[in-house]
Amino acid sequence: MTIKPAQSGRRRKSLAGAAALLAALVRWTTPLLFLPVSVLIFFAGLFDVLDGEVARTTHRTSPRGDFLDHVLDRYADVVLVLGFAVSGFANPIVALLALVSLLLTSYMGTQAQAVGLGRAYAGLLSRADRLVVLAVVAFLEFDLSLPWPWAPSEPWARFHLAGVAFTVIDVALAYFVIAGQWTAIARALRVYRALPPSGPA
């Protein structure tokens, strides 16, 4: 049975949706759920990259398929960050700022395409980059939440610096804020400089 690109895209995004749901459930269950979260995000990212390469090499891309893929990507980005925000292992304000930065990064990339310059992928925070980061920090949070022999009653799930408690997920989201804004601004400047100056009114 042949799987159509649109169906494959929806299945890949359903992995991200399942990961977001499990991450949210951590709040009411156990941080051990971060292990399947990490696995689901890893495979979502892997299939995303592989499907994109296959579509390009076999010339099976189409404007409709490309549009649908980007729409599903943005929804996947939103639900993943929201899942981590609800988990209880992320500062909700940092998560909100990270989400804004991710959406701005993607917007600048597609806006370059809209003005005829082609999709902009350059920067510190591509979609593949952030999926890798989220998969890694989900695994680290799972690992740090285990009751190790030297910390059986208070696992290393949270760290403290200058009286501020934070998790590895907070660190990743803070990186998304900084790298996302850097990438969005860099893309905006690159597109602006590439456009011809406006003529006289």
Strand partners, 159: 166
Which pLDDT does position 153 carry in this prediction? 59
Q: Supply the pLDDT for residue 156.
A: 63
* pLDDT tops 90 at residue 37: yes
Percent of the chain, pLDDT > 70?
Answer: 81
Q: What is the pLDDT of residues 100-152, one digit of tens each?
A: 999 999 888 888 878 777 777 777 877 888 899 999 999 999 988 877 665 55
Alpha helices in the chain (DSSP H): 5-25, 34-57, 63-86, 92-114, 127-144, 168-194
99 falls in which pLDDT band (50, 70, 90)?
very high
Q: What is the pLDDT of residues 153-198, one digit of tens each?
A: 556 667 777 778 889 999 999 999 999 999 999 888 888 888 888 6
Q: Which of 159, 128, 127 is nearest to 144 (CA)?
A: 159
Q: Using alpha carbons, list the distances in angstroms from residue 14 to 8, 19, 33, 65, 80.
A: 10, 8, 17, 17, 11
Q: What is the pLDDT of residues 17-29, one digit of tens each?
A: 899 999 999 999 8
Task: Find the mean pLDDT for residues 90-105.
Answer: 93
Those residues with Cβ within 8 angstroms of residue 44's Cβ, 6 or more apart along the chain or in another chain: 12, 13, 15, 16, 19, 76, 131
64 with 72: CB under 8 angstroms? Answer: no
pTM, rounded to two decimals: 0.83
List of domains in the chain: 5-194 (1.20.120.1760)
